[in-house]
Structure 1
């Protein structure tokens, strides 16, 4: 047997995960299969690469040597792919997104910062679909959200960077709603309302809404699941439903956006890209374009402008290094 890239990736995943079980889940294989593969790799390299300790699987001296070489080879292969795509001017960069407010300005910002680079943008209603297509090579980069403590698992070979560390979700309701005049809405006062079901159901949002409402003493009545923004707003303006909303959401006739007391539901916005198709320079340009797109909407609602200005530690940081290889 000769060592292949997949063998080097397996060794790196075992080292990063610290256990065969976690590494197998990240690689999408069974633990017995990965264990057998490791034994074959060790026969080629001439000795044990890992030993089991109280802390988990730790590399031996030989393992440390193989790991260093494996990481160097994989890094070079990633660079080969991304740099080749960067040189090929007629190859578009494929960006996938969920429905975030910043999407409205993202194309304009990428056109400014990445002039000469053709970019295609597709909208998905599933974070799972986004990450799956990133792993399959359908997208080169994705922009997505995570709610409360939920962490979206990313495919092998992905890098990720947090764009917005935290934003408190708000409530959109009819301007004629009895609570519309309040500065902040107590979640418990919405117990009898019909709610819009969140379009994305795999970013932690539905669980966060149910948990927050349960703490407030009720279960939300989920009546509508509508992706069309105009229809969504029209139903709310008519008093038929209320909905969770990003605090940067634009004004819509007949509706108001109000913060929730105590900020029980918060979100993060992240950018992820595949190392083999997006260079470090392209990733930096994408990040800065997305940051500008977000900042362009911060003042859409006065309460969020005030909250945002009071939390400079949460603002996008340009020029920083990415978080490193994503764990699946």
Structure 2
């Protein structure tokens, strides 16, 4: 077997994630498949690349050598893609997104505001993958979220702008839940619940949820990790799980949305673009379209409208 770019990407993802499980989720493959792939890579390189340490898997001296070479090769390939992309001025704009509430409205608005230039849209579950693909020129613009104090590192040649600096996550639960009649929820009262695990595992969300629950005196039982929104909502409506949710999420039959007292988990929404492929004018159009899409959802829940009106510092800035 000869090493390919996908093998180098796998090695880098394992190092960045610190675990095979985390790397597998970012790469969109199963953990056993990644373990088998790593064993094949190690046969080619001649030895173990990672060992288990106190903080997860850590590179061996051989692993550090391979990582350095892999990052250099991948960096060169990223530069090649970005430079080639910059020469194709009339190519379609490629938009990558995490499945945020505002995405549906954003797509409708970009179709109007950027008429005359085709837009190709893809959804990703991993913020890390989204950012890497932006740096590699596979996306021109991305919209993503960050939770609590987590900051996603951005590659060179990329500019970013915050759409919404802060929004408090809330809880979606069954309309028949024992706590559904409350106007706001104390996180500690949810200690015995089954939780829907967050789809994105590298935006700071899982860590923020676990930390907030720890402060409330319990460890959350993360039972389901489902990307299909309808399936999520069906399970919640049936009373089999609860989930964190953006406060702008729309109503779903059989479920209710309730804010958390003290806002222990908050989100931030950002727009980033490759400056070699997107002009300042086009970035501004995307930004305004995204802001408009977000504001159209503020009234989906009365408690969020009240919070929004009380926190003008969180509002987006329109030039």
Normalization by structure 2: what TM-score? Answer: 0.73
1:1-328, aligned counterparts within 5 Å? 86=89, 88=90, 91-319=91-319
Equivalence for 2:57: none
The Cα offsets for residues 199-225 of structure 1, whole Å up to 9 and x where unpaired, read as 000000000000000000000000000
- What root-mean-square deviation, in Å, do the aligned CA atoms of Structure 1 and Structure 2 show? 1.8
Q: CA deviation at 1:113?
A: 1.4
Structure 1 85/279 Cα, relative in aligned 2: closer, same or farther at 3 Å?
farther
Q: Secondary structure at the match of 2:172?
A: strand
Q: CA deviation at 1:313?
A: 1.9
Aligned residues between the structures: 242
Structure 1 158/29 Cα, relative in aligned 2: closer, same or farther at 3 Å?
farther
Q: Secondary structure at the match of 1:160?
A: strand
Q: CA deviation at 1:148?
A: 0.2
Q: Which structure: larger Rg?
A: 1
Q: In the aligned structure 2, how far is the partner of 1:136 from the partner of 1:236?
A: 38
Q: In the aligned structure 1, how far is the partner of 2:165 from the partner of 2:83?
A: 28
Q: CA deviation at 1:80?
A: 11
For structure 2, list consecutive stretches of 5 or more residues without a partner in the other structure. Answer: 1-66, 73-81
Kindly indicate whether the alpha-carbon contact (under 8 Å) linking 1:198 and 1:205 is maintained by their aligned counterparts in 2.
yes
Q: CA deviation at 1:143?
A: 0.3
Kindly indicate whether the alpha-carbon contact (under 8 Å) linking 2:162 and 2:268 is maintained by their aligned counterparts in 1.
yes
Kindly indicate whether the alpha-carbon contact (under 8 Å) linking 2:85 and 2:137 is maintained by their aligned counterparts in 1.
no
Q: In the aligned structure 2, how far is the partner of 1:140 from the partner of 1:184?
A: 40
The Cα offsets for residues 82-125 of structure 1, whole Å up to 9 and x where unpaired, read as 6x655x2xx11000000100011111110121111211110000
Q: CA deviation at 1:81?
A: 7.2
Q: In the aligned structure 2, how far is the partner of 1:297 from the partner of 1:270?
A: 17
The Cα offsets for residues 175-217 of structure 1, whole Å up to 9 and x where unpaired, read as 0001001010000000000000000000000000000000000
Q: In the aligned structure 2, how far is the partner of 1:252 from the partner of 1:313?
A: 29
Q: Secondary structure at the match of 1:292?
A: helix
Which stretch has the larger CA shift, 105-114 or 209-218? 105-114
Normalization by structure 1: what TM-score? Answer: 0.71
Kindly indicate whether the alpha-carbon contact (under 8 Å) linking 1:79 and 1:275 is maintained by their aligned counterparts in 2.
no
Q: In the aligned structure 2, how far is the partner of 1:151 from the partner of 1:299?
A: 28
Q: CA deviation at 1:310?
A: 1.3
For structure 1, list consecutive stretches of 5 or more residues without a partner in the other structure. Answer: 1-27, 34-77, 320-328
Q: Secondary structure at the match of 1:146?
A: strand
Kindly indicate whether the alpha-carbon contact (under 8 Å) linking 1:95 and 1:139 is maintained by their aligned counterparts in 2.
yes
The Cα offsets for residues 286-315 of structure 1, whole Å up to 9 and x where unpaired, read as 000000111111100000011111112211
Kindly indicate whether the alpha-carbon contact (under 8 Å) linking 1:193 and 1:242 is maintained by their aligned counterparts in 2.
yes
Kindly indicate whether the alpha-carbon contact (under 8 Å) linking 1:79 and 1:279 is maintained by their aligned counterparts in 2.
no
